[in-house]
Structure 1
């Protein structure tokens, strides 16, 4: 396996595009497995919502169950990611996937007939949310392992972000196809099957295999490549150990007893910048969904919501793939505030759209900044921390996006109908625009090395 690690670097000079990313050893099969599992994230929420509503006969019970499911999944994501960093994907992911799938099957059984108890069903739904495996953060950590070249890694993160965006569009469509065939409970079962299958196929990949320090294989070269990109900045203080190769999924080296070492998260200003950018991006997106619905209703064309939000996804996909295709993009420290500002300005412009066609164009323009902003945030977070903390860093960015989205939707829900809709768009853009000077003041660079002059406070998040 030792030769497999050097292939991506060589490929980067010959074929520096997306083909080189997917052509890296075991990358295609691992990414495909991750996408299968992550498709469940687009299937399960809607399937659970319909199943709980039909079985209990209560929209309030369904809404409360789903809110708690989302909170449990989002807030505990860093905790689950820490387990992956500490024990490696092969030891941590299967128990999570099996337990989460089993709980989803229990929900399907409980909701298969009308008259299910809301408390029982709600408890099962929340428990399932607590166990959701962090397949996205793990996949991004594996990208770092096999693609030490910074240009290829950026393309991989861009491709990953665009694919994830499309999965959240495809998942509800799949639920729509399953409901008349299998009913809500069957759709929940399908989501559980996707989750379990994807997670198990993912950890079956050679990339997820644990590596001992000094044992050859892809971990050592990838760790060396990351060190070259990140710079020698004394990360042993965060538990990365000088010269220790990155373990599977960024789990770091092993001790003499073969156990993964646990490190502090670290990351300092760079990680906080990534989390801030992700949070304000999520907030804008969560607010935008509801504002588009309100705008379409005011125009008397509620059915237009679908194609306007599709324009957002298309814009995001174009922006993400465009960022990955660039050979020499701007530095991360420039890109992160630039994309955040672009999103804020596009949201502001959308508020003054005179009709649905112009709104759709403005929303597509906003989408152009979404995937690039999130891709850059994930890259900054990945580069800011030690090898054995990367899954946790990615999970914090992911948590920030989801928490921001929930906050944005809830806030706009209180404003719509009470203040003019254009003002709602402007207010939704304020956090993104306000974050720009903060992000510009942060000097975290492309590789994210922490300066020795940074205070102790800046080394912990």
Structure 2
């Protein structure tokens, strides 16, 4: 099996990947300064919450539509207008909120338009990885590396902006996000591989026939991605509640770090293994293990046990999400790959947002160990239902996972590795 270094040595891979990461860093940088900018302009955290909710909803719900533009017109013709509009709207947002007293309805409207224009850099990069990698084994490495590095960018984003400076002048962080997405997207869209003529209309950058409205085979990855989001959306809140209940609120940073490290290690190891099981089997198995680990973590006797339990939980986050993207990619045709990944991405982010809201209602009303069990239920149910349906299909057809199980070695792991303990959205 090729190494991760071999992936980056592929012609045009390093340049294209670096450009995509630079643009996606904007999404990691933006949430904190966006909230603080609105709060300073309106004097209300409630207004900031509403604005963030509107921004996130428009970004997530319209993600498949924007990805469909990439499928139909190619990265250059689709991404550059979106990035230009997105950066211009962020600039407008920063100027409107520069001084206190900005009207909340106007800020909310600008936030909605900004979310609607987010360039789909994650789905586009996954499509380009498919063109860059000569075989499925290298694609497995590429997608795992992509997911882990993006996850680290989301964790490091606020630090790179400089939290003290953001608190003093939060609009500067919004301007930094605008600059990052504009430069990164321009570099990505002009990469040689982005206009390589070998994969349908989107590959040439020329308009082609409209993509299929329905993409068969997305039900399983979308269902599991949504369940993973539901289960893990409130992990951050549960971690805070757990550390506070044990008299160690300062330990939350170690718990969060453990989850991030666990997910990064899990993603890299997952991408490096020659898997003999098919993609659907791996998706259901990792989801099941994730649910079990999350439920068990709530019964930790103290913080010193909970932190390693969080790391163990993290081991299964990246593989589960990675494999959901893989199956979506396999289900899509050459004219709908970006859109297929965007649907899974939307399901994951919608689940994460819902899970965060649900956990906010549970904490303080339900015993903490039971909270962990309850938030693990969605992913456990999704995995259990998937195994039952596979067994029934196997009984009818003799092989429940023909599209994946027929490949004996190294089905690729695709993906965005995500640590849903954070509230930031995926890279659109």
Superposition TM-score, scaled by structure 2 size: 0.89
Q: 2:368 aligns with which of 408, 421, 445?
A: 421
Q: 1:113 aligns with which of 89, 99, 103?
A: 99
1:246 Cα deviation from its structure 2 partner: 3.4
1:46 Cα deviation from its structure 2 partner: 1.3
Q: Map 1:261-280 to 2 at 5 A.
A: 261-268=209-216, 270-280=217-227
1:387 counterpart SS class: coil
CA contact (8 A) 2:27 2:154 kept: yes
Q: Distance in 2 between matches of 1:91 and 1:253?
A: 10
1:209 Cα deviation from its structure 2 partner: 1.1
Residue ranges of structure 1 left out of the alignment (5+ in a row): 1-11, 212-218, 220-244, 450-461
Q: Map 1:29-428 to 2 at 5 A.
A: 29-177=15-163, 179=165, 183-209=169-195, 211=197, 219=198, 245-247=199-201, 251=202, 259-268=207-216, 270-428=217-375
1:21 aligns with 2:7: yes
1:117 Cα deviation from its structure 2 partner: 1.3
After TM superposition, the structure 1 stretch with the greater mean CA deviation from structure 2, 122-131 or 91-100, is 122-131
1:294 counterpart SS class: helix
1:111 Cα deviation from its structure 2 partner: 1.4
1:437 Cα deviation from its structure 2 partner: 2.6
CA contact (8 A) 1:90 1:210 kept: no
Q: Distance in 1 between matches of 2:147 and 2:402?
A: 21
1:259 Cα deviation from its structure 2 partner: 2.7
Q: Distance in 2 between matches of 1:447 and 1:337?
A: 13
Q: Distance in 2 between matches of 1:447 and 1:392?
A: 21
Q: Distance in 1 between matches of 2:89 and 2:363?
A: 37
Q: Distance in 2 between matches of 1:126 and 1:267?
A: 27
- In structure 2, the CA distance between the partners of 1:139 and 1:34, relative to structure 1 (3 Å rule), is same
1:438 Cα deviation from its structure 2 partner: 2.6
Q: How big is the alpha-carbon RMSD for the aligned residues of Structure 1 and Structure 2?
A: 1.8
Q: Distance in 2 between matches of 1:154 and 1:266?
A: 26
Q: Distance in 1 between matches of 2:13 and 2:168?
A: 34
Q: Distance in 2 between matches of 1:65 and 1:297?
A: 29
1:265 Cα deviation from its structure 2 partner: 4.8
Number of residue equivalences: 396
Structure 1 residues 98-128: Cα deviation after superposition (integer angstroms, max 9, x where no partner): 0011110111111111111111112111211
Structure 1 residues 43-100: Cα deviation after superposition (integer angstroms, max 9, x where no partner): 1111100100011111110111001111111111001011111111100001110001
Give the corresponding residue for 1:8.
none
Higher gyration radius (CA): 1
After TM superposition, the structure 1 stretch with the greater mean CA deviation from structure 2, 49-58 or 433-442, is 433-442
- In structure 2, the CA distance between the partners of 1:253 and 1:199, relative to structure 1 (3 Å rule), is closer
Q: Map 1:421-440 to 2 at 5 A.
A: 421-440=368-387
Structure with more contact order per residue of length (Cα contacts < 8 Å, sep ≥ 6):
2
CA contact (8 A) 1:37 1:198 kept: yes
1:351 Cα deviation from its structure 2 partner: 1.0
Residue ranges of structure 2 left out of the alignment (5+ in a row): 391-399, 407-428
CA contact (8 A) 1:39 1:195 kept: yes
- 4+ runs of 1 displaced by more than 3 Å? 175-178, 442-449
1:323 Cα deviation from its structure 2 partner: 0.9
CA contact (8 A) 1:384 1:447 kept: no
